[in-house]
Chains A and B, each alone.
Chain A
Amino acid sequence: KAGVTQTPRYLIKTRGQQVTLSCSPISGHRSVSWYQQTPGQGLQFLFEYFSETQRNKGNFPGRFSGRQFSNSRSEMNVSTLELGDSALYLCASRDQGDRAEAFFGQGTRLTVV
């Protein structure tokens, strides 16, 4: 099976712009989670989608949003970008079992200038 695929790998945006990141989970996985990874804060949970519904949400402002499509692919959108949004954004997919391990993508490196 192909692994979790995230596109694009790198992005440079300016403050105030918006950005959309994409994640294709492992085939058959219906749960997709998004994380923000920074050197100072580690892995911070953004949200999780399951069967096109947001199942869990972290403590991020409303500028961060996401969605999941019927084929389980997910997108994450950040509007009105701020310098502090610069980070590695990771996507992880899980199988249906509620204690299944998470499989991570390589991430999208977002730089806001």
Chain B
Amino acid sequence: QSVVTQPPSASGTPGQRVTVSCSGSSSNIGSYSVNWYQQLPGTAPKLLIYNDNQRPSGVPDRFSGSKSGTSASLAISGLQSEDEADYYCAAWDDSLSGWVFGGGTKVTVL
């Protein structure tokens, strides 16, 4: 059981806005920046959002990140079929002295 919690699934129709939550504690999200990774089916994870809300070059601006206290969120606006993937949040954790990943959220486009 991860110390950072995500809902196992989320879904939406094309064009809708979908949000994925990531809940942690003061030893991780509450103190350090959050990164989000996208894992398309059968592929390696890819960095999607870093430092809570920054997008690497090449990531569409329909993806956005935010953080408040010990929770973070990933929002996908204008959902597209190619966004169907698993999404993981991650942060440094003082108790672990290492990185913790959320359990992952499978986003389905209906």
Partners in one complex: no
Give B contacts to A, CB under 8 Å: none
